[in-house]
Structure 1
Amino acid sequence: MAMTLRLDESEAAALRRRADLEARSMQDVARAAIREYIEHHSRTDLIDGILDRELPRYAEALERLGR
């Protein structure tokens, strides 16, 4: 799928510098950043969901441990 990404001058310059440092294209760096963002937030959402479900089961024990 093709997509247009609009960056301001400072964002474009930072992306260009990073791509040059890594000897990669700006597109490759941007795509990797998007993948990392999605993976991180997907993992965070999963962990948050598990905690929301499981913490109430252990609330009393956690409260005792906190004393």
Structure 2
Amino acid sequence: MAMTLRLTSDDEQVLAALAESQGISRQEATIRAIHEAASRRAHVQAVTDSSARARARYADLLERLGK
């Protein structure tokens, strides 16, 4: 699917520098950035979910340790 990405001149410069530093096209840099952002968000969510499960599982212990 094709799409148009409108960037400010500052954003265009940042993208061009990123692509050049990695030796890839601006399109590939954009795609990689999208995938990296999605991966980071998924990781943060997984850690948040894991932490919530651990806090629920060990709530009594954590309460006793806090006293």
| TM-score (ref. length: structure 1) | 0.79
Provide the alpha-carbon RMSD of the alignment.
Answer: 1.8
**Aligned partners of 1:7, 1:63: CA distance in 2, in Å?**
50
**Aligned partners of 2:65, 2:39: CA distance in 1, in Å?**
33
1:35 matched residue in structure 2: 35
2:48 matched residue in structure 1: 48
Show structure 2 runs of 5+ residues with no match.
none
Q: Tell me the number of residue pairs that the alignment of Structure 1 and Structure 2 aligns.
A: 67
Q: Quote the sequence identity (%).
A: 34
1:6 matched residue in structure 2: 6
Query: Is residue 20 of structure 2 the alignment partner of residue 20 of structure 1?
Result: yes
Shift in Å, 1:45: 1.1
**Aligned partners of 2:16, 2:57: CA distance in 1, in Å?**
49
Show structure 1 runs of 5+ residues with no match.
none
